[in-house]
Structure formats: structure tokens, C-alpha cells
């Protein structure tokens, strides 16, 4: 049995070596790092640009080829096709030209050739969060991981998978000052940075002007209230749908419940993130409004009506097809909707904010890249985050319209604001930037409950009301009760969190006491990013970090 085991091991090793040797692309002259991301077609171009960026930024090997023998030796090294392309096409390589297709002769020598510091490869097979966590805790995670916004960052940090890149961000130019201000809570925790945006998403209403014109309806204002939305929506559906026939045209594909209740000064969690606050009259008002707009005013489609549409889904889902076809005049999505909308032809589109109840706001998020703390080449991986803040990467986002650029500087360019090939979009891009710079606020993430769990429990309660299984009062009570039960369960199962929870609860009591007494509170007491902005806007807080007493960009109306 012992000899059988040894023989099996030897055979397996030989087969593994043979398999490796059969794939020459697996061998390369430089280290290989893996980027765990989605299989978006744009990733191939982004990786190619990254290799050239490394060369042009001076991050790599520099070789002087003085003789034809030097050229032959350099060409004979184990360069993969991706490395060859980068070496031949990088501007920093100058007259190296087509080094493999037409190698330079003695008369063209010497030449200086530069190669990237490392090779980046995409790993889209392991993008699932559970796979990323299992591989990460096992010590075999991808070197660079895409994580979804603040909730993903906090989750991956809680299981010990993220490298602290605070100092690297300052050194390589990707610290939080190099992105939008609203991104800071999405990238940092306790003052330390753990990622940088690959792009920045912001929910706004896309408007099909042609659909409005077809039914003689006006363009909505860029900023509008619940009442204006309802009035314009009712007029539209009345004009667009013949009486007595099944309704097939709606004003908007959906609303955004969180933006709605935030506009009334409410967040999912209280100021200290210790309790779910949705058992509130403001949440009740918002879900009742959604019900009214859906089943009484028919401004929005019901779930059954959405399912009844027969259309082929494209990038971004069926809603884009229906928007193009005229079934929806408005739909909420980020700038990345243009990836599909551009395929439909030159649509006459506009962009407006989601309606508000007093406090204009927009929900912003990011797909961020983070460095795996268990990787062998963590310092090399940090260069990729520097690339995300660079002109090379950002201008690719500008061209592809894949949401907003990570670095705001490149959203101010003519190419971003008024793309030459798409004059029908002029004005839409500016609206996104105005909102991101003024009213954008990220999510509220409690350290005492998984954000995905809190979101699911809230959706379950709202769905119960929208489907007539719960009253509005029962739905609001259920949402808060179940989320708070999860918080209690977390504290029972994780005793290490109890001391921090007690401190946060004490701060909450101080905040509430100050509010009852009419005193402003230090903004540093407030852990919830939404409440920080709202309190400053209302004049209920002062910025004890820098002395400012108001939030930028948003003024009471």
C-alpha cells in the first residue's frame, strides 16, 4: 500500500508538471498577480492599459539592447503574449517598435526596452463572495479583489482579508482625496483605507424625452418633490394609455425607497448604528406612497405588470429595452446605463434627480479594488490601486461610460461632459457630476448586523405590504423588529463586540440628550454617514474636526 501511495504521488506530480509545461502562457518573466473581478468585456482593455501604464510610469525592468545578440536573448525570454504587446506598444519603449515581428538590426541599436513590473490576469471564475472568503481564509485568495462598496469592505475586513493601504495610498496617489468626497465612508474604516474605486455609481432618473414628447408631456425639473413627481406622473399615464385598455406605459420603472425616506431625515439605522430605526412614521409614509403610486395612480408598474412585459434582457436588464421601446419614460440607474443605451442608437435622453420629501439626496456606491492581505506580493498589488486613480484608467472609463470616473478630475474633461460621438447625451453627464458633488451619500453600515441581512429583512417586510399580506404599520414594525433581533443575536454570538456596542449606545444617549436640549452635537459623535450630513444640513451638529458647521453643496429650500 505504501508503494502504491508513493507511485500515485509521483504520477500526479509528473502530470501536474506536464500540464504546466503544456501551457506556455502560464510561464512568464515577471510575477503574475490575479484580479478577481467580473467578466466584463472591458476588463481585457483595462488590463492591457495597466501593463502599459506600469511601463510608462517607470514601474518595471529597463534593459539596454546594444547588439543583435542582446535582442535575440531578450526576445527569447519567457514573455507571454500580454507582455509582448505591452513592451511593443508602450510609449516609454520608443523605438523598440515591433520587437518580435521586426527585430531591430545593428544600425538601429542600442535601444532601451522596458517591461512591466508584473503581469495582471483576470480571475472571473472566483468572483462569488463565498468563494472569495473561503479562498481568502485558506490563504489562496486573489491578489486584488473587487468588493462592493462599504458593505463589502466592512465584511471582508471583519474576516481579516484586506490589507491596510493607507500609507500606500499617500505614496502612490490613491488616497481618499483622489476620489469623490462621498466615497470616503465606502473606502475607510476607523480612519484607515482599504480600497479604491474602480468606478463610482450614482442613482438618477434617466428620461426618454422622445417618449414624453410623443404624449405631449413636459420634461421634469432636475430637482423635484414627491408632489411634483406624482402630479406629472399621473398626467403622463393618463395621456399615454387609452382608456379601457390594459396599461402598457408607465411613468417610471420603479422608485428608490431608501432615497425617499432619507429625504425625510430617516436612515435605516440611528446615529450610532446600534438600532434599526425603520419603525418610524416617515418610513410608513414612504411605503404608503409607493403603494399609492403603484396600485392607485399606476405611475409605477406592479411586480405582476413588470413580469408581463415580453422583452429580451440586455446589459442592465429588461428595463433598458422597455425604456427604449417607450414603456417607461423614466428609470433609475447610474451612468453605466449608457453601455446598453448607446446600442439602441442616438436616444434623446436627459437625467434628473430622484424626487425628494425635503432633503435632496442621491444614493452612491462603488465597485472598489482591495488588496488581499494573505497574498505573497501585496506591495506589488498596491500599484494597481494607483493605476485606478491615473489618467490612463480614468479616460477608459470616460470612453466606455462605465459609471463615474474614480478620480473626479477626469469627470471635468470635455471628453466626459460632451462626448464627440454622442451629442444626444450632452447635459446628462453634468447632472451626474453635480449630484455626486452635492447630494450624494453612501450607505449606512452597522457593524452589528450584516448589511445584506438587514436589506433582505427590510425588503421582505415591504414586499409583504405591497402584496397585501401585511398592513403598512405591521411592515414597518416587522422590518425594525427583525433587524434589531439580528443585532441582538450578533452581540450574543460575538462577545468581543459588546464593549464597543456599549460605547456606541452611550454616545447615542448623549446625542439624544443634546437634541432634546436643543444643543448641536459634535459630528464626530455620529457614526452614520447619512446622519452626519443631515445633522450638518439642519444645523444640529458642528464639525469638530475642521470647524465647519455645514455640509457642502446642499442648502435648505
HEC readout, 167-219: HHHHHHCCCHHHCCHHHHHHHEECCEECCEEEEEEECEEEEEHHHHHHCCCCC
Taking the C-alpha atoms of residue 235 and residue 238, their distance in angstroms, rounded to an integer, is: 5
Taking the C-alpha atoms of residue 175 and residue 152, their distance in angstroms, rounded to an integer, is: 19
Q: Half-sphere exposure of 85 toward its Cβ, with a 13 Å CA cutoff?
A: 12
What pLDDT does residue 101 have? 87
Which DSSP string do the residues of 253-279 spell out, in sequence order?
A: S---HHHHHHTTT--SB-TTSSSB--S
What is the residue-averaged pLDDT of the chain? 91
C-alpha cell of residue 427: 447635459
Q: Is 386 exposed, middle or buried (0-12, 13-18, 19+ CB in 10 A)?
A: buried
Q: From residue 549, how far is each of 62, 103, 170, 532, 554 by CA, in Å?
A: 52, 65, 27, 11, 13
Mean pLDDT of the region 499-507: 97
199: left (phi over 0), alpha (psi -120 to 50) or beta: beta
Give residue-wise pLDDT tens across range 529-548. Answer: 999 999 999 999 998 875 44
248, 329 Cβ separation under 8 angstroms: no
Mean pLDDT of the region 6-31: 47
Q: Is it the case that residue 556 has pLDDT exceeding 50?
A: no
| C-alpha 362, offset from chain centre | 14
Residue linked to cell 427604449: 324
What confidence category does residue 306 fall into, taking pLDDT thresholds of 50, 70 and 90? confident
**CATH number for the domain whose boundaries are 128-202+364-441:** 3.40.190.10
Which DSSP string do the residues of 325-366 spell out, in sequence order?
A: HTSEEEEEE-GGGHHHHGGG-S--EEEEPPPBSSS--EEEEE
235, 215 Cβ separation under 8 angstroms: no
Contacts of 205 by beta carbon, 8 Å cutoff, 6+ apart: 220, 252, 330, 331, 332, 351, 352, 353, 354
Give the bridge partners for 330, in sequence order.
207, 252
Mean pLDDT of the region 5-18: 38
Q: What percent of the chain has pLDDT over 70?
A: 92
What pLDDT does residue 95 have? 85
**Of all helices (H) and strands (E), which one includes residue 542?**
strand 541-542
What pLDDT does residue 309 have? 77
Give me the count of residues in the chain. 557
Give residue-wise pLDDT tens across range 32-59. Answer: 999 999 999 999 999 999 999 999 999 9
460, 469 Cβ separation under 8 angstroms: no
Q: Where are the alpha helices (DSSP H) in 57-176?
A: 68-76, 81-89, 129-137, 149-158, 166-172
Region(s) of the chain under CATH 3.40.190.10:
128-202+364-441, 204-363
Q: Is it the case that residue 404 has pLDDT exceeding 70?
A: yes
What pLDDT does residue 28 have? 75
Q: Is it the case that residue 162 has pLDDT exceeding 60?
A: yes
Q: Is it the case that residue 9 has pLDDT exceeding 60?
A: no
197, 367 Cβ separation under 8 angstroms: yes
532, 440 Cβ separation under 8 angstroms: no
Give residue-wise pLDDT tens across range 425-466. Answer: 999 999 999 999 999 999 999 999 999 999 999 999 999 999
Q: Is it the case that residue 18 has pLDDT exceeding 60?
A: no
**DSSP-based three-state secondary structure for 80:** coil
What confidence category does residue 98 fall into, taking pLDDT thresholds of 50, 70 and 90? confident
Instruction: State the CB neighbour count (10 A cutoff) for residue 142.
Output: 24
Q: Is it the case that residue 3 has pLDDT exceeding 90?
A: no
Contacts of 82 by beta carbon, 8 Å cutoff, 6+ apart: 47, 48, 51, 119, 121
Contacts of 318 by beta carbon, 8 Å cutoff, 6+ apart: 309, 311, 312
**Of all helices (H) and strands (E), which one includes residue 370?**
strand 362-371
Q: Is 49 exposed, middle or buried (0-12, 13-18, 19+ CB in 10 A)?
A: middle
What pLDDT does residue 187 have? 96
Mean pLDDT of the region 101-122: 93
Query: pTM of the predicted model, to two decimals?
Result: 0.90
Q: From residue 481, how far is each of 100, 136, 486 by CA, in Å?
A: 67, 34, 9
Classify residue 104 by its DSSP letter: -
Q: What percent of the chain has pLDDT over 90?
A: 86
Taking the C-alpha atoms of residue 238 and residue 240, their distance in angstroms, rounded to an integer, is: 6
What pLDDT does residue 317 have? 54
Mean pLDDT of the region 327-349: 96
CATH topology of domain 204-363: D-Maltodextrin-Binding Protein; domain 2 (3.40.190)
Look at 11 and 205; give whichever has higher pLDDT. Answer: 205
200, 364 Cβ separation under 8 angstroms: yes
Which DSSP string do the residues of 400-417 spell out, in sequence order?
A: HT-SB-SSGGGGSSHHHH
Residue linked to cell 462621498: 182
Contacts of 384 by beta carbon, 8 Å cutoff, 6+ apart: 33, 35, 50, 120, 144, 369
Amino acid at each position: 500500500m505504501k508503494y502504491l501511495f508513493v507511485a500515485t504521488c509521483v504520477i500526479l506530480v509528473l502530470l501536474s508538471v506536464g500540464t504546466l509545461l503544456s501551457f506556455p502562457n502560464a510561464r512568464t518573466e515577471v510575477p503574475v498577480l490575479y484580479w478577481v473581478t467580473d467578466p466584463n468585456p472591458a476588463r481585457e482593455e483595462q488590463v492591457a492599459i495597466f501593463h502599459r501604464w506600469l511601463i510608462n510610469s517607470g514601474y518595471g525592468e529597463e534593459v539596454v539592447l546594444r547588439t543583435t545578440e542582446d535582442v535575440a536573448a531578450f526576445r527569447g525570454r519567457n514573455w507571454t503574449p500580454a507582455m509582448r504587446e505591452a513592451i511593443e506598444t508602450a510609449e516609454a519603449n520608443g523605438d523598440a517598435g515591433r520587437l518580435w515581428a521586426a527585430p531591430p538590426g545593428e544600425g538601429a541599436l542600442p535601444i532601451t526596452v522596458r517591461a512591466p513590473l508584473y503581469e495582471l490576469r483576470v480571475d472571473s471564475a472566483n468572483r462569488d463572495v463565498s468563494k472569495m472568503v473561503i479562498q481568502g481564509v485558506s490563504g489562496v485568495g486573489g491578489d486584488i479583489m473587487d468588493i462592493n462598496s462599504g458593505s463589502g469592505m466592512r465584511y471582508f475586513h471583519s474576516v481579516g482579508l484586506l490589507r491596510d493601504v493607507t500609507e500606500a495610498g499617500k505614496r502612490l496617489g490613491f488616497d481618499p482625496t483622489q476620489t469623490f468626497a462621498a466615497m470616503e465612508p465606502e473606502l475607510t474604516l476607523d480612519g484607515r483605507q482599504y480600497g479604491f474605486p474602480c468606478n463610482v455609481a450614482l442613482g438618477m432618473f434617466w428620461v426618454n424625452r422622445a417618449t414624453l414628447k410623443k404624449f405631449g408631456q413636459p420634461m421634469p425639473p432636475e430637482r423635484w418633490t414627491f408632489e411634483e413627481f406624482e402630479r406629472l406622473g399621473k398626467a403622463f399615464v393618463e395621456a399615454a394609455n387609452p382608456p379601457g385598455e390594459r396599461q402598457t406605459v408607465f411613468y417610471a420603472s420603479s422608485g428608490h425607497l431608501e432615497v425617499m425616506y432619507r429625504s425625510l431625515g430617516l436612515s435605516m439605522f440611528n446615529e450610532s448604528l446600534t438600532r434599526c430605526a425603520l419603525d418610524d412614521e416617515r418610513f410608513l409614509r414612504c411605503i404608503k406612497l409607493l403603494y399609492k403610486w403603484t396600485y392607485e395612480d399606476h405611475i409605477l408598474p406592479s411586480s405582476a405588470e413588470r413580469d408581463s412585459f415580453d422583452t429580451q434582457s440586455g446589459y442592465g436588464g429588461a428595463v433598458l429595452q422597455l425604456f427604449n421601446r417607450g414603456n417607461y419614460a423614466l428609470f433609475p440607474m447610474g451612468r453605466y446605463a449608457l453601455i446598453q443605451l448607446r446600442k439602441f442608437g442616438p436616444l434623446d435622453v436627459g437625467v434628473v434627480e430622484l424626487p425628494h420629501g425635503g432633503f435632496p439626496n442621491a444614493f452612491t456606491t462603488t465597485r472598489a479594488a482591495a488588496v488581499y492581505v494573505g497574498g505573497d506580493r501585496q506591495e506589488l498589488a498596491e500599484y494597481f490601486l494607483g493605476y485606478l486613480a491615473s489618467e490612463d484608467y480614468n479616460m477608459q472609463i470616460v470612453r466606455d461610460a462605465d459609471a463615474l470616473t474614480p478620480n473626479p478630475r477626469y469627470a471635468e474633461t470635455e471628453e466626459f461632459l460632451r462626448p464627440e460621438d454622442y451629442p444626444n447625451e450632452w447635459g446628462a453627464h453634468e447632472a451626474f457630476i453635480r449630484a455626486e458633488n452635492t447630494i450624494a451619500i453612501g450607505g449606512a453600515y452597522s457593524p452589528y448586523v450584516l448589511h445584506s441581512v438587514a436589506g433582505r429583512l427590510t425588503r421582505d417586510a415591504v414586499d409583504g405590504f405591497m402584496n397585501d399580506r401585511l398592513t403598512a404599520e405591521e411592515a414597518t414594525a416587522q422590518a425594525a423588529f427583525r433587524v434589531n433581533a439580528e443585532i441582538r443575536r450578533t452581540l450574543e454570538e460575538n462577545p468581543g463586540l459588546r464593549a464597543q456596542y456599549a460605547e456606541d449606545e452611550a454616545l447615542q444617549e448623549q446625542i439624544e440628550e443634546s437634541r432634546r436640549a436643543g444643543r448641536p452635537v459634535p459630528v464626530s459623535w455620529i457614526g452614520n454617514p447619512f446622519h452626519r450630513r443631515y445633522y450638518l444640513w439642519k444645523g444640529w451638529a458642528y464639525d469638530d474636526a475642521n470647524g465647519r458647521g455645514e455640509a457642502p453643496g446642499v442648502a435648505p429650500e
